[in-house]
Structure 1
Amino acid sequence: MSLSRKLLAEGLGTALLLAVVIGSGVMAERLAGGNVAIALLANTLATVGGLYILIEVFGPISGAHFNPTVSAVMAWRGELPVTALPPYVAVQLLGAMLGAWLAHAMFDMSILQFSTKLRRGTGQWIAEAVATFGLLLVILRAPRSRVAAMVAAYIGAAYWFTASTSFANPAAVFGRMFSESFAGIAPASAPGFVLAELVGAALAAGVHHLLSTSIATAAAKSSGETHHV
């Protein structure tokens, strides 16, 4: 598969993901009558369904990262060429912004806007680190045939158990800066979220390595004992 096709898949997939997240947030807020819990539930269900489908559709082409932290970890593991990492991140960021604009266009909103929704504080940053840690750990350890379902299910759960509603994705943070909607985040809050996500991703890669090493060591030891007997 050529790099250009992979980049098209990553950009398009990320754009559609942000359109799902922001568009469902707008629709939910309009229909919920001020009930934030119902709005979040509707936003969650749409995101879970959309994410699952997008991973299934674009996974065979680009890996369906839609997320710079995922691409960075895959490059670190040698599953994505290091030279492909910058263009992957670039199209993810561009796609996220275009996805926000697409959502605005569908709902007759002003296309160009910036969020004023502040999301900051230690709890929010810890939540983003936890959300990203869990996401990467699921991606790294899930059976390949179940990745889409498990990632979508985890993100759906993390919408509710994390204080930040689980962005877990620097591209999503970037795209949501351009939306003064239910799903938005103020540009001033973005650096803290992105830093927390990078920390969470690094921790997940480290824990995955430790778990894999432990399993390999145990398997080798067991094999040696069996051979000895």
Structure 2
Amino acid sequence: MDEARSETAPVNHVDEPLAAEPPAVPLPNRVAAELVGTSVLVAVVVGSGIQATELTQDVGLQLLANSLATVFGLGILILLLGPVSGAHFNPVVTLAEWWSGRKDPKGLGPREVAAYVPAQIVGAIAGAILADAMFGEPLVKWSTHDRSAGHLLLGEVVATAGLVLLIFGLAKSDLLRFAPVAVASYIGAAYWFTSSTSFANPAVTIGRAFTDTFAGIAPSSVPGFIGMQLIGGVVGLALVVLIFTHRRPAGSR
């Protein structure tokens, strides 16, 4: 597991998670928040996975430990960095926010997208390397964990679509203040109800290819995952329009 900005933008992994960036915060600060936040998120995912495999051989307990650490870590990161950058930590969320607010002069612009996405990717790679370093693993070792099966790819579409629907739905309902808990809870649940364990994030997917540990993904599986995540983002935005776009009948108040 994106698995919130201020109350105007999205929060993490998706549209307004948050929504558009607070204009008062300079772009370099926002980019730094995205880089550091994504780095810490991946360090939590990878590090907790390594720790879990060292403590137990039970795969169910390993996944439980990994998902709980991710839930707590993600919630804290969104709460802390949401007011700075929107706490996207996820290119799909950034792109979804740009698309949904492209006609808004105050919305996320191409310049911000061009800065956010590379920062998220670099942060994810750095986070994986940091986790490996903390546990004495090779700093960079390509993962051998193949995740190319069709049912796993479908899981990524579902996980990402749900994430985008959640974030933008919260924004449409003026409930972004609940994003830290809601987004983290969704990612925790998606660890268990999706076949892919819910990467739902292209940057995190790339970062996890750099570690041959519990949370890793083989480089050959990365393009398929990212493609499905982008499709999931489109599906999520379509669901937001379908569910949250209300038109009042003519003459009604």
The count of aligned residue pairs is 220
Confirm whether residue 39 of structure 1 aligns to residue 62 of structure 2. yes
Aligned residues of 2:49 and 2:215 also touching (Cα < 8 A): yes
- Tell me, which stretches of 5 or more residues in structure 2 are unaligned? 1-24, 102-106
Aligned residues of 2:52 and 2:65 also touching (Cα < 8 A): yes
Q: Which structure carries more helix by proportion?
A: 1
**Deviation of the 1:224 alpha carbon:** 2.6
Structure-2-length-normalised TM-score: 0.85
Confirm whether residue 23 of structure 1 aligns to residue 47 of structure 2. yes
Corresponding residue for residue 158 of structure 2 = 130
- Tell me, which stretches of 5 or more residues in structure 1 are unaligned? none
Corresponding residue for residue 228 of structure 2 = 196
Confirm whether residue 153 of structure 1 aligns to residue 181 of structure 2. no
2:186 is aligned with what amino acid? Y
**Deviation of the 1:212 alpha carbon:** 2.6
Alignment match of 2:251 (pick from 179, 201, 224): 224
**Deviation of the 1:80 alpha carbon:** 1.3
Structure-1-length-normalised TM-score: 0.94
CA RMSD after TM alignment: 1.0
Deviation string, structure 1 residues 163-196 (Cα, Å, up to 9, x no partner):
1000000011000000000000000000110000
Aligned residues of 2:169 and 2:244 also touching (Cα < 8 A): no
Corresponding residue for residue 26 of structure 2 = 2
Q: Which runs of 4+ in 1 moved over 3 A?
A: none
Corresponding residue for residue 73 of structure 2 = 50
Corresponding residue for residue 140 of structure 2 = 112
Deviation string, structure 1 residues 183-219 (Cα, Å, up to 9, x no partner):
0000000011000000000111111122232x2x1xx
CA distance in 1, matches of 2:62, 2:252: 57
1:65 is aligned with what amino acid? H
CA distance in 1, matches of 2:251, 2:70: 47
Alignment match of 1:96 (pick from 106, 116, 124): 124
